Amino acid sequence: MAERLPLILLLGFLLLVSGVLSMTMSTLTIENKCNHTVWPVIYSWNVDSQVSPTGFSLTRGEARAIQAPSSWYGLISGRTLCSTDSTGKFSCATGDCESGKIECPGSYSWAPVTYVYFRIDDGGINSYTISVEYGYNLPLMVVPSQRSRTCISAGCDVELNKTCPKNLMIMSGKNPVGCSSTCQEFNTPETCCTLDFKSKQNCKPTVYTRNFERACPLAQIYAYDDNNSTVTCLNSTDYVITFCPSYN
């Protein structure tokens, strides 16, 4: 029995190592090609699988790589026109996470901005979705490191602020800097797909959502959108997330 013990311990150790190695991570490289500074937000829904930092700044041409652990479920968005007031409170014209700081800990309130949602190593696969369901503020593109029929580059890489309907425009002075959704702006059951409209049959695209759909056919446009906007990849895939991808 004494001779068997080391072998049992060795097998246990190998199983432990195997389990650790099977938990893959993905590198998410966030880069800014806009002609202005962007302050990314990284938010985690799964309390057992967090990403840090939760917010930082990227000047024009700058990039930063973060590690997303296995089972991470979260989002990335960008804030613009941010500043710190005389009391030390940090805030942004678009995408503000209302923390009063550059980092965005704690709860999350939806802002009318361009989002990308990620699920890392969820049942052996990764997935991501570009969304303008709540609005739009920046062109955004995601490029996976491994390509396949289901693992493709996707995004909303066109400038929509200037073509936004006037009653949905988010202004900074005389300049449009974002475009709100009809749900955010009007908050009715019809525009938010709630109550009697909480079904695919009753929640239909509107003249406003069609504006986004024409420009960003690979993005999630509204709650019951069925345009197959979710991209699935191998769980070992890394990603480059680019703000303003078509800018020089």
Q: What is the pLDDT of residues 100-109, one digit of tens each?
A: 999 998 778 8
pLDDT score of 26 more than 90: yes
Taken in order 214, 216, 217, 219, the sign of the CA dihedral is negative
Average pLDDT over residues 145-167: 93
- What is the pLDDT at residue 212? 85
Structure token pair of residue 200: 């695919």
Q: What is the pLDDT of residues 45-54, one digit of tens each?
A: 987 888 999 9
pLDDT score of 210 more than 90: no
- What is the pLDDT at residue 248? 52
Structure token pair of residue 54: 């939760």
pLDDT score of 12 more than 50: no
Q: Are the C-beta atoms of residues 63 and 29 closer than 8 Å to each other? A: yes
Residue with tokens 């509107």: 206
Q: CA-CA distance, 240 to 147, in Å (whole number)?
A: 13
Asked if the structure places residue 21 within a domain, the reply is: no
Residue, of 11 and 229, whose pLDDT is higher: 229
Q: Is 26 helix (H, G, I), strand (E, B) or coil?
A: strand
CATH of the domain at 98: 2.60.110.10
Distances (CA, A) of 140 to 187, 200, 247: 26, 27, 11
Residue with tokens 């013990």: 5
Taken in order 89, 164, 30, 61, the sign of the CA dihedral is negative
228: containing domain: 26-243
Distance of alpha carbon 235 from the chain centroid:
18
Q: CB within 8 A of 131, min separation 6: which ones?
A: 114, 115, 116, 117, 219, 220, 229
Residue, of 92 and 48, whose pLDDT is higher: 92
Asked if the structure places residue 4 within a domain, the reply is: no
Asked if the structure places residue 107 within a domain, the reply is: yes
Asked if the structure places residue 146 within a domain, the reply is: yes
Residue, of 25 and 116, whose pLDDT is higher: 116
- What is the pLDDT at residue 225? 78
Asked if the structure places residue 123 within a domain, the reply is: yes
Asked if the structure places residue 16 within a domain, the reply is: no
Structure token pair of residue 48: 């057992």
pLDDT score of 21 more than 80: no
Q: How many Cα atoms sit within 13 Å of 114 on the Cβ side?
A: 31
- What is the pLDDT at residue 6? 54
Asked if the structure places residue 9 within a domain, the reply is: no
- What is the pLDDT at residue 228? 74
Distances (CA, A) of 4 to 11, 16, 17, 18, 94: 11, 19, 20, 21, 64
- What is the pLDDT at residue 209? 83
Domain count of the fold of the chain: 1
Residue with tokens 């908050």: 187
pLDDT score of 221 more than 60: yes
- What is the pLDDT at residue 227? 66
Give the rounded percent of residues in the chain with a pLDDT score beyond 90: 67
Residue, of 231 and 12, whose pLDDT is higher: 231
Q: Read off φ and ψ for residue 117, nearest 5 degrees.
A: -100, 140
Asked if the structure places residue 3 within a domain, the reply is: no
pTM across the whole model: 0.87
Q: CB within 8 A of 5, min separation 6: which ones?
A: none
Of how many residues is the chain composed? 248
